[in-house]
Amino acid sequence: MTLSAAEIARFHEEGYLFLPEAFTPEEVALMRAEAEAIYAENRPEIWREKSGAPRTAFAAHTFNEAFRVLGAHPRLIEPVEQIFGEQLYMHQFKINAKSAFTGDVWQWHQDYGTWARDDGMPEPRAMNIAVFLDEVMAINGPLMLVPRSHTHGTLAAGHDVSTTSYPLWTLDEATVARLVAEGGIVAPTGKPGGVLMFHGNLVHGSAGNITPYPRKIVYLTLNAVSNHIRTPTRPDWIAHRDFTPIVPVPDDALARLAAHHGRRHAAE
């Protein structure tokens, strides 16, 4: 998947880009089923809300074939290579749950603030690229972005270890209010299979989900190889130490895997 010059310009100006329905319903159905199976497992990579509901599952690309393929999919790798102008490695991979009724808040933050402070990443030459596994609606805790906030650089933040089950470097209310007064807030919504890419310094967060509609999103944190982390403090299944450049799989690799799973289940 190749970005147009206009799309690249919009990304640099606004700090994000949304690409609707980049993956087919069959590809998404496979990933959704695999995500739900992973959440049912008991392993250290799976973090849970205080209620016990799944919050996020790290490093699924290292132990699940569907997510291994997604982690090297050209529809995700190629656009980020265009932006950074070099090969990438996987800094982090996670499947965020935002479960129905119990999905908790993600406070306002910048991703690069955590990558720099906790992992020793030199520059914000990494970004999250998100794949919607469920429909993301205005009511079920969509990701909220502050357009153009990435132009303010890396902002001062406090380490919040108490609000939720996941420690996060968060921004204070005055900073968020000032940035929102300048850029507003957008909440990209769309059908399963949509892809959202956003700058590592773009301010974002999400409210809790009290609806019956789950909101699962896969996040690939793709980092320029030259920008690999220097002083990691977190487990390697959160901040990966393998800086090998990603070699994209064929574009139909996930579709073929989905078809294989469909035939296998039909035969059972």
Give the pLDDT confidence of 169-208 residue by residue, as tens digits. 889 999 999 999 999 999 999 999 999 999 999 999 999 8
Distance CA 25, CA 22 (A): 10
- State yes or no: pLDDT of 225 exceeds 70: yes
Alpha-carbon distances of 240 from 82, 165, 222, rounded to whole Å: 22, 21, 11
Secondary structure, 3-state, 13-52: HHCEEEECCCCCHHHHHHHHHHHHHHHCCCCCCEEECCCC
Give the tens place of pLDDT for each residue, 79-109: 999 999 999 999 999 999 988 888 778 789 9
Average pLDDT over every residue of 132-139? 97
- State yes or no: pLDDT of 268 exceeds 60: no
- State yes or no: pLDDT of 166 exceeds 90: no
Q: Please, is 241 exposed, middle or buried when counting C-beta atoms within 10 Å of its C-beta (0-12, 13-18, 19+)?
A: exposed
Question: What pLDDT score does 102 carry?
Answer: 85
Domains of the chain: 5-267 (2.60.120.620)
- State yes or no: pLDDT of 117 exceeds 80: yes
Question: What pLDDT score does 266 carry?
Answer: 61
> Confidence class of residue 115 from pLDDT cuts 50, 70 and 90?
very high
Q: What is the pTM of this model?
A: 0.92
- For residues 65 and 100, the answer to whether their CB atoms sit within 8 Å is no
Give percent of the chain above pLDDT 90: 83
Give the tens place of pLDDT for each residue, 228-245: 999 999 999 999 999 999
- State yes or no: pLDDT of 116 exceeds 80: yes
- Work out the number of other CB atoms within 10 angstroms of the CB of residue 8: 15
> Confidence class of residue 162 from pLDDT cuts 50, 70 and 90?
low
Secondary structure, 3-state, the chain: CCCCHHHHHHHHHHCEEEECCCCCHHHHHHHHHHHHHHHCCCCCCEEECCCCCEEEEECHHHCCHHHHHHCCCHHHHHHHHHHHCCCEEEEEEEEECCCCCCECCEEEECHHHHHHHHHCCCCCCEEEEEEECCCECCCCCCCEECCCHHHHCCCCCEEECCCCCCCEEECCHHHHHHHHHHHCCECCCECCCCEEEEECCCCEEECCECCCCCCCEEEEEEEEHHHCCCCCCCCCCCCCCCCCCCCCCCCCHHHHHHHHHHHHHHHC
Question: What pLDDT score does 150 carry?
Answer: 97
> Confidence class of residue 168 from pLDDT cuts 50, 70 and 90?
confident
| Mean pLDDT (the chain, rounded) | 93
- For residues 61 and 90, the answer to whether their CB atoms sit within 8 Å is yes
- State yes or no: pLDDT of 249 exceeds 90: yes
- State yes or no: pLDDT of 62 exceeds 70: yes
